[in-house]
Amino acid sequence: MVMKMDCIFCKIVNGEIPSYTLYEDDIVKVFLDVNPDVNGHTLIIPKKHYQNLFDIDNDTLMHIMDIAKQIDKLLKDKLHTDGLTLVQNNGLKQEVKHFHLHLKPQYKNEEKLLPVEEVYNKISA
């Protein structure tokens, strides 16, 4: 599997950096963003290092979207979300140059931002 040693997401995949993992298979790892915009802000990353949308293969991209649907259901069940925004940056706005999809839950009523560990405990309960 292709990895970049200086990539923070590759280090998360390798277990060098801990994460609040919600799901993992041979292709992707799904974990809570440690600097969330909203409760349940989740990232889906391919385990193989792809820089951006223009670098990733279609099979992996479709798998990521299938997993996004599963995680949306999990967030609805555990956090009672009312919607979901998907964000994927390329180029200038892409802080980490490893393809990743943000899942940002929406809530009818504004939610107080909770510590990530507390959100993780609600989801994994």
Domains of the chain, CATH where assigned: 8-124 (3.30.428.10)
Rounded distance between C-alpha atoms, residue 12 and residue 104, angstroms: 20
At 61, the amino acid letter reads L
pTM, entire model: 0.94
- For the chain, strand residue ranges (E) read 21-24, 28-32, 42-46, 83-87, 101-106
Contact predicate 8/96, CB 8 Å: yes
pLDDT of the residue at 6: 87
Which residues belong to the active site?
A: 100
Question: How do residues 64-114 score in pLDDT, each as one tens digit?
Answer: 999 999 999 999 999 999 999 999 999 998 999 999 999 999 999 887 999
Structure confidence at residue 41 (pLDDT) = 98
The band of 125, judged by pLDDT with boundaries at 50, 70 and 90, is confident
